[in-house]
Amino acid sequence: MHHLRKLLVLGVNELLARGEVQLDGPSKNDHDDYGHIFCDIAGENSVVAWTNIGSQELRVSVWWKYDHEKHPQKDAPGNAQECFRTSRPLAKEQHYPKFVGAFASGWLERETGKYLQGRGPTGIFDKYVRRNELDALKQLADPIPAGFASEGDLH
Please state, rounded to an integer, the average pLDDT across all residues of the chain: 93
Quickly state the pLDDT bin for 28 (edges 50, 70, 90).
low
Among residues 51, 43, 39, which one has the least CA distance to residue 14?
39
User: What pLDDT, in 10s, does the model give residues 65-87?
Assistant: 999 999 999 988 998 999 999 99
pLDDT over 80 at 154, yes or no: yes
Query: What is the percent of the chain with per-residue pLDDT over 90, rounded to a whole number?
Result: 82
Question: If DSSP codes are grouped into helix, strand and coil, which group holds residue 6?
Answer: helix
> Cα separation of 66 and 143, whole Å?
20
pLDDT average, residue stretch 3-14: 98
Q: Is residue 43 part of a domain?
A: yes
- pLDDT of 58 reads 94
User: What pLDDT, in 10s, does the model give residues 44-63?
Assistant: 999 999 999 888 899 999 99
Quickly state the pLDDT bin for 36 (edges 50, 70, 90).
very high
C-alpha gyration radius of the chain: 15
Q: Is residue 151 part of a domain?
A: no
Q: Is residue 21 part of a domain?
A: yes
Q: By residue range, what is the domain housing residue 25?
A: 3-139
Q: Is residue 144 part of a domain?
A: no
DSSP sequence for 41-54: ETTEEEEEEEEEEE
- pLDDT of 71 reads 95
Domain count across the chain? 1
Question: Kind and range of the H or E element at 91?
Answer: none
> Angle CA(1)–CA(85)–CA(153) in degrees, nearest 5?
35
Q: Is residue 115 part of a domain?
A: yes
pLDDT average, residue stretch 36-47: 97
Sign of CA dihedral 11, 13, 19, 25: positive
pLDDT over 90 at 101, yes or no: yes
Q: Of 1-5, 56-60, 113-117, 138-142, which gets the smallest average pLDDT?
A: 56-60
Largest CA distance in the chain: 41
User: DSSP 3-state helix, strand, coil percentages of the chain (rounded to 5)?
Assistant: 20, 30, 50
Q: Is residue 153 part of a domain?
A: no
Q: Is residue 134 part of a domain?
A: yes
Query: What's the start-to-end Cα distance of the chain, in Å?
Result: 20
Q: Is residue 148 part of a domain?
A: no
